[in-house]
Structure 1
C-alpha cells in the first residue's frame, strides 16, 4: 500500500465518479497543519478539567465494575445475553452510524436505516450524531494537532478518554467552526438529536423543524421552513410522503380543483440555508473568542 500523501486529496469513486463533497471529509490541509504546529510551539495552554464530566465518568466506571462482578457471579443468562446485545447495538451504532455514514459519507442509507442507526447511536451515550461527526471530521482534517479533539500528542489517556473530561482546546473550537456541517444539520432524521428540532432556514427564530410533528400533525413539522417561506403551500421540504396536507392539495391540483400552488425554488432555499451556515460560523467564532 503506498504511503499517504497529505498534499494530495484521497480520491474515492462513487458510481465511477469522485465528488468534491467526498474529498471535503478526507483531505488534510498541509498549510493548516504547518500553521497549527507553529501555534502549538508558541502558545501556552492550560488544561481545564470539567469536574461534572469527571463525576459522571466515575459513576459510569463504578457501575461498570459492579456490573462486571455481577456478570460472572450473580447475573442470570438472560441478563448476560441482554448486555451482549446492547454492547453490539451501541458499538455498531457508532461505527456504522456517525462514523462511516455521517462523518465520512462512505455509504448511503435510506430513511429507515438512518432512523435505526440514530437510535443505536443513542444507546452508546456518546453525544448526538452531529456533534460526534463534527469532532471526528476535525480529527481527520487536523490529525495530531491541537485542533484534533483527541490529539495523541497529549498522551494515550487523553486520546482515549481524557479529552472528554476537560474543556476543548481553543483551536478545536476555532477550526470546528469552519467545517461545513450543513449536510447533517439539514438531515431530517437527526432533528431528534438537536433539541427536538433544528433551524436550517432561519437560525434567528425559535421555530424549529420536527420530523415527529410532521408524522403526527399531517405534515406541519416544517415550522422553521414555514416561518421563512410562509407562502409555500408545502410548508416543509421534509418527508413529502408523510406531508398529508400537501398530498391532499396535490391530489386536488391534479384534477384541477386546486391551482396556483405557490412554492419556493430550490436555488432560493439553498441560498437561504447557506446564509444560516455563515451566521452559525460567525456565532461559533464569537463564542470561541469569549471562551
Structure 2
C-alpha cells in the first residue's frame, strides 16, 4: 500500500530536473569537439580499474560452489542494502527531492550510499540533475545517442564533453551544499567507502560463520559491487534504448522490465523522465519496485514524509497525448 497522505503534484516536463560512478571534474573532452568528430581521450586509469574489477567479478563466480550458503544470502542482502543508498537516497531523495526524510533516515541512507561506491551523494546527484536537464545531448554525462557502450560504461572511460561541465555549472545545487549530512558524507567519503563497500561485507561472513576472507572478499565485496554498478549503468543504457514508451514516445527513456528487476525498481524509465518528481518512479506504486516498498516502510515508521505522487488523471491524459499506446 502507498501512504495515504502523499502529496499530489501537477504534471511535469519530460525533461525534468539530475548519474554516477568515478565522476571527476577534470574529465572533459578536448575543447570545442563534439562526440561525432571528437578527439576522444581515454582515461586509462579508469579502463584499468574497470578491467580489474570485472575480471575479479568473473573469478568470484568460480568461488560460489566453494563458499558457505550464508555468504550467498549475505551478498544478496548487502546488494540491496547498498542499492537503497543509490535509489532511495542519492536518486529519489537528494537528486529529485521527491520525498523528505528525517535526519536518522538521511544519515542511514548516506551510509548505504557509501556502501554502493558510486561517488558521494553530492557528485552523484549533481550528475543526475544534469542528465535529466540535458538528456540525450552533449551535456548529458552518459548520452545514450552515443551508443549502448558509451551510455553503459564508456562515459566513465573517456574525458567528458565540455558541455557537461559548462551547462552543469548553470544548475542550482545549493540544497545539496546546505545539507549537513551530504557534506559530512562528502568529507569522510573515502574512509566510509572503504569500510562499508569492502571491509564490512568481507569481515561479516568470516567472523560469523567461518567463511574464508578470500571468498568473502570476492563474493560479498567485489562481485556484489560489480553487479551493483552494472545494475545502475543499465538504467542509462538498456532503459534509454529499449522498451516501451507509454507516457512519452518522443524521448529515449523507456519502460524496461529487466532493468526494473535488477535496479530494484528503477526501470520504469519512460514514466520517470516524464514525471521526474514522483517518489515511486512509476504509476504502479510499490509493484515490482523494492525501493518504493522501502520508502513506504520508512513512511510508516515516521522517517519519510511529503512523498510526491503524480495524480492518476494526469498520467492518463499524458498517455493519450504523447504515449506510444503500449499500455
Q: TM-score range by the shorter chain?
A: 0.5 to 0.7
Which of these residues, 186, 194, 198, is aligned with residue 186 of structure 2? 194
- What do residues 67-92 of structure 1 show as CA deviations (whole Å, max 9, x unaligned)? 12212x21111211111111111212
Correspondence 1:145 to 2:171: no
Larger radius of gyration: 1
What is residue 60 of structure 1 aligned with on the other side? 53
Q: Distance in 2 between matches of 1:141 and 1:111?
A: 28
Aligned pair count reads 171
Q: Distance in 2 between matches of 1:108 and 1:59?
A: 38
Q: Distance in 2 between matches of 1:81 and 1:162?
A: 31
- What do residues 200-221 of structure 1 show as CA deviations (whole Å, max 9, x unaligned)? xxxxxxxxxxxxxxxxxxxxxx
Q: Which structure has the higher relative contact order (CA within 8 Å, separation 6+)? A: 2
What is residue 83 of structure 1 aligned with on the other side? 75
Correspondence 1:26 to 2:16: yes
- What do residues 258-290 of structure 1 show as CA deviations (whole Å, max 9, x unaligned)? xxxxxxxxxxxxxxxxxxxxxxxxxxxxxxxxx
| Alpha-carbon contact 1:90-1:123 (below 8 Å) kept | yes
Deviation at 1:61, TM superposition (A): 0.6
Which of these residues, 177, 185, 189, is aligned with residue 185 of structure 1? 177
Identify unmatched segments of 5+ residues in structure 1: 1-13, 29-38, 198-291
Change (3 A) 1:178 1:88: same
Q: Distance in 2 between matches of 1:196 and 1:120?
A: 14
Q: Scaled by the length of structure 2, what TM-score is found? A: 0.48
Q: Scaled by the length of structure 1, what TM-score is found? A: 0.53
Q: Distance in 1 between matches of 2:35 and 2:120?
A: 34
| Alpha-carbon contact 1:40-1:146 (below 8 Å) kept | no
